[in-house]
Every structure is written in structure tokens, then in C-alpha cells.
Amino acid sequence: MEPVKTKLGKFDVTILDPRIIVFHNTLSDPEGLIKHYERNLPWRGWFGFGRQVDEKGPSLDNHPHFPTEDDWQSTMVNSVTDPVRQEVSIAFHRATQEYVKHTGIELPNWTCRNWSLARYLPDENVINNDDLTMNYHTDYQVNLHDQPGDKFAITAVIYPNDDYEGGEIAFRIANEDWAIGEEISYKPKKGDIVIFPAEHPYYHGVKRIWNKPKYIIRIYWLYNSEGTPEWHAWREKYGTEKFKELEQERTTRHDLMETKPFLRPMFTIDEYYQHLEAGTLPEPDRFEK
């Protein structure tokens, strides 16, 4: 689809896809945010892409519905005194509130925890593709689908600067056959928040960056899963301790279909354990993510 410029609530937005939406001018002082983080918080390595810093603070856990303004204010804003963190927190909540209204996305419960600021160094290591700094992926961990625990549902990326070359966020949307159905590329502007689903069929990557660093803040909506019935049935069969060992092996294997570029899992959890019991599991496909 062609990008659509419109308004959602008080925000000017660009709709790139029914579930990929850019919210513009969400921060009052994007450059000041960068200066704050560069001056006040310690940076560490970020998997060859550059540097990152984790923001510690309050979290909203397993909320039964999307939090109201009052819910969010009392839990995530009033509990911190740092005005930079408060502004980021408010912008994220207001934008994702409009996103959820517009898309109709519903989660069984709502969790938001610490976020991180990341700094891509220009022209850093390129992974798997000469045109990409970060290859296509989802934030949802498909190998952990059946297990209980938090699951990534919605990804929000805040962009405090745009004074670099390249660095577009690129999307590939899979079709029903796990082939590429649509490709979208967008060069963020400072103050943008790009919001999109964190799971299949939406895959995102980052194009190469030149001349100056690119900064991003990553914040997520997650939900807590009790685990699938299949997972609980196999745990009951093997017992908790033995099943823990088996699951460690299963979730660290990379058994993938040939339907690249989306790295489709080869087995459901039932198929995996049926093959395990029959002694017919293939050798795992080991690769670098």
C-alpha cells in the first residue's frame, strides 16, 4: 500500500501498512535526550552493532487491560524523577494507545519493562547481507513459543536523531507460503516512534549507516503466557527436571525449513518430541543469528 498521512488522536502519523505506523514529533527535545544519556549512563557493547545502555526503573506487569492514563502515570511516570525518562514513558504510552485503538490488537495481559538506548556506529559490521547492518528478524522468540513466560507482542522504536545517512528501517512481510509478500523501507525522522507487531509475519531489519551514529530507544509491549497445552502435556510425561533438560536442548537447536528468508521452524513441539522418541531427529542446523 502507499503510505497514508493522517492523524491518530493528537499525533500526525504515516501509515506504512495497516500494522506499521509512524508517529511523528513525539519528543520535545530529541537532541537533549541524546546528551542526557551520553552524559549520565554507562554504555556497553551491543553485539557488534555499536553500544547500548539499559534504562533501569519501574515496570508494569501483567496488567489485565491496556493501562489507562492514570494507571500509567501512577506506575511508570510518578515513580521516577528523571524528566527525560518521564517524557519517553509518556510518549510511548500515548502513541501505543492510539496504535492499539487503530489496529484493534488485543493481548491477554499487558507488560512493559525497562527499555534500552542503542547507538549504531556508522559503517559497522554487516551481517549476512551487504545492504543491512541488522538482518531481518522478529523480536518474538519463536523457539520459546510453547513455554510459559513473557512474549514480545508490540515493538516501538523511538528515534532521537536523523543526522546520518542510510539507516532506514526495512520490513519484509511474509505471505501465507512464507515467501516475501511485501517490502517496506522508511527513513526515520528525529522524534518519530515507529510501532509494529513483534512477531511473524512482520520482519524488520536496519540498512547500513554512514557518517554519524544512529540512536534508537527500544520499548516493547509483552504479555505473559501460561504455556501451551502441548508443553504442559510433555512436561507431565517426562517430569519437571528431565523436561527442563530436554527443553534446553530443543530451544537451543535451530531446525529450520528451507523457506528462507524467514527461517520457519521445522517442527511443532509435538513433532519434535515424537521424532526424539523415535530416534529420527536430524542433526541440528547450527548457524550464527
The residues spanned by each domain of the chain are 4-225, 229-278
DSSP structural state of residue 122 = T
d(CA 178, CA 262): 7
C-alpha distances in angstroms, 228 versus 111, 153, 212, 225, 233?
A: 19, 17, 45, 8, 9
> Of the given ranges (25-34, 116-125, 245-254, 267-276), which has the lowest mean pLDDT?
116-125
Confidence grade of residue 10 (pLDDT, cut at 50, 70, 90): very high
Please state the rounded mean pLDDT for residues 214-240.
Answer: 97
CB distance 19 to 171 below 8 Å: no
Tens digit of pLDDT for each residue in 126-146? 454 568 889 899 999 998 999
Report pLDDT for 285.
Answer: 65
Cα separation, 53 vs 42, in Å, equals 6
Q: Take residue 176 and report the three cell numbers written for it.
A: 501465507
The pLDDT score that the predictor gives to residue 57 is 78
DSSP run (H or E) holding 278 = helix 269-278
Query: What's the whole-number mean pLDDT along residues 157-161?
Result: 97
The rounded distance, in Å, linking the Cα atoms of 259 and 206 is 22
User: What is this structure's pTM?
Assistant: 0.93
Helix (H, G, I), strand (E, B) or coil at 216: strand
Region 119-124: mean pLDDT is 81
pLDDT bin (cut points 50, 70, 90) of residue 286 is: low
- pLDDT tens digits, one per residue of 170-214: 999 999 988 899 999 999 999 999 999 999 999 999 999 999 999
**CB distance 269 to 146 below 8 Å:** yes
CATH class of 4-225: mainly beta
